[in-house]
Structures are given as C-alpha cells and as structure tokens.
Amino acid sequence: MIESTMFPVPVSVSLPSPRVMYNAISRRDSAYEGVFFTGVKTTGIFCRPTCRAKRPREENVEFFASIEAALQHGYRPCRLCHPMERVPAPPPVVTRLLHAVETNSSSRLTDKDLAGMGVDPSTARRQFLACYGLTFQAYQRARRMGLALHEVRAGKPVIEAQLDGGYESPSGFGGAFRKTFGKPPRDARSEDCLLSRHIDTPLGRLMALADGKGLRLLEFEDQRGMGSQITRLAKGLGCAVVPGTNATLEATEIQLQRYFAGERFEFDLTLAPVGSAFQLAVWAALQRIPRGTTCSYAEIALEVGRPGAQRAVGRANGSNRICIVIPCHRVIRSDGAISGYAGGVWRKQRLLDLERGAAAISRGTA
C-alpha cells in the first residue's frame, strides 16, 4: 500500500477558463452539461451551456460551478433550459429512436419510416449528432454490424446474421460488414469489437469502450485528440468500434453514478488497459492510492522500483486511458502543485475536492 501524503487542496471549485466556457455556450456544447452554469446579468437568469436562448454578449455573463452558487448570486432558473433538472435526459426523439432500434434490431428505419413515425429526419440527424457524434442512420448501421458480429462469433450461420440485420442481399451485408470490421463475415469467427457507451457525469460526458476482456478506455469526450486516441486503440487491438453495451459498460456507468454521488470510491470493474510493462505497473500503483489523498510522481517511481524516474512516471500517468477508475488525478507534484491533466486541470481539482470531502465526512472531520 502506498503511504500517501495529504497535500492541501484548495476548497474553491475550479472551472474551465471563461473563454472556453463562453465558446461552449456559443456552440451549445453538450459536453459541458453539468460542468458549469451561465448567469446572464441583463436578465437575471442562469442557464445550461446548451440553452437555446439567444446568446448573450460575453461581457454580460458570469459562470458558476453549481446551481447553488448561481442561486446564491441572485439568479433564477431559465424557463427554457430548466437548469434545476441536474442531468438532462436525451431529447425525446433520441430516446424514442434508440428504443425502436433496440426493440427491433432487424428493422432498418429509413427517412421515409421516420417521417411516418412523425419524426423529422433532419431533426433526428441533428439531435443524434449532438448526443452521440454520429447521425441516426450511422448509429443504426454501426449497431446492426455490432449485433451481426456477436451472432457470427456465437456460431450463427452468416445468412441468419444477414437476415437478422435486415439485409436482403448477401453482397450488401458482406460489404457493410467488411467496411466496418475489415474482413468478410466468414472470417470473423474470432473477431472482437470495442463497444462504445456515452456516460453523462457532473463533469461532462465520458466515452467508455470495452470488449470481452474488460474496460479499455474511459475518457472525457471533449479532451483534445480524443478521436485519434480511439483510432490508435482500435488499430492496436485490430478491431472496430461500434455502439453497444455489455456487463462491463453497464457496471461502469452504475459505479460512476455512485462515485459522483459520493456513495462509493472503490471500483469493482474488469479492466483491460493496453500499455507497456512499465505503464501497467504505474497504473496498478495508481489504484493503490487511497481516496482523499494524493501522491507525488517521485513516490510512484519508488513504488514501482524506479527511483528517480519521475518523468517516466509522468509520461505513463499521462498515457492512462481509463480516467477516474485508474486515478491518475491523484498524482501531483512533490511541492503539492496540481499540474496537467488530459481532461483539464479544473477537472482534476474537482475530482480531488470530491474525494477529499467524502473522506473528511467518513472520518467525521467535515
């Protein structure tokens, strides 16, 4: 067990820079839902980052880390975006279409079908892009291919997987399968894929990726280079990424909800990080840092038997793809300063504040 040093952590809550937050409300960026709230000085209301109201001038806004802070400064909740509802549900159209896909995976909803359901295809396209980064048709296609791969791997004949996926033509099914997985269905008996799941948290949306071996990636979606990181991981594993779920992803979401609610800080998940022997040793050491405490890079170097290798530890720490669960945010500089974090230093501060507060409550010192 690492003997961790409790460095003083400021109690004030960190936020992204005002410029980052103003840019987020300008493009109504859903990745910042729950991260901050915008107070509009000229109207006296506070809003979500995604509020559809006319964008206020930059000099007329101020930002708050919580609903409570906005209320304490005299702002009232916006009637358009309802910021008091802490974690917004996906738009009704998105929820309805997700249900339609999951309850009848063999059907392929065309734009004509959507119109027949009373759903404007352009609305479905736009809202799916905002929620999941791909259009509804692309989501349907990827989901069908993921299910088809699962069936082929389970031993089902290719023709049955084709028909279950809603493909009448073997060539059409084979082409779509090859485009997604890089090989024809008959050669995919041992093929695996990375299933993706979006998880909303008070600090923004996370992307989780898992396969049959466990959780491979958990990162904030708005961090720089996220797309290339996923591409490198998928290429290294020789598999494709498709939307879907499995027991690991479901457990990850449930345990993260309890983490942010302050109910649990130890994770019981099957992890399958990809890295060198040194990186894996560092990531294992990170998981031994108790909640509410921090370690220096030098302490981790000693723990893994590489005294003086602080820079190498820093690089391994920065290469961690499974944030929060593998708590790289608990590693700080020897002088107690909180330095870089891929998800943003403000998030690192918020995570430390959350854990420190919960630890103080459990000790009865809060």
Catalytic residue among 51, 193, 323, 328: 328
- DSSP labels, 124-161: HHHHHHHHHSS-HHHHHHHHHHHHHHHHHHTT--HHHH
CA torsion 328-329-333-339 (nearest 10°) is 120
Q: What is the pLDDT of residues 319-357, one digit of tens each?
A: 999 999 999 999 998 888 887 788 888 888 889 988 887
Q: What is the pLDDT of residues 54-70, one digit of tens each?
A: 999 999 999 998 887 88
What is the C-alpha separation between 178 and 128, in angstroms, rounded?
Answer: 25
| Architecture of the structural domain at 277-363 | Orthogonal Bundle (1.10)
Nearest Cα neighbor of 355 from 6, 32, 1 is: 6
Q: Where are the domains of the chain?
A: 1-87, 92-187, 193-250, 277-363
User: When comparing pLDDT for 295 and 366, which is higher?
Assistant: 295
| 322 DSSP assignment | B
pLDDT score, position 4: 45
CA torsion 184-185-186-190 (nearest 10°) is 110
At 10, the pLDDT band (50, 70, 90 cuts) reads very low
The domain defined by 193-250 carries CATH number 3.30.1490: no
Fold match between 92-187 and 277-363? yes
Selecting from 3.40.50.1980, 1.10.10.60, 2.120.10.30, 1.10.10.10, what CATH number does the domain 92-187 have? Answer: 1.10.10.60
pLDDT of 104 strictly over 80: no
Q: Is 328 a catalytic residue?
A: yes
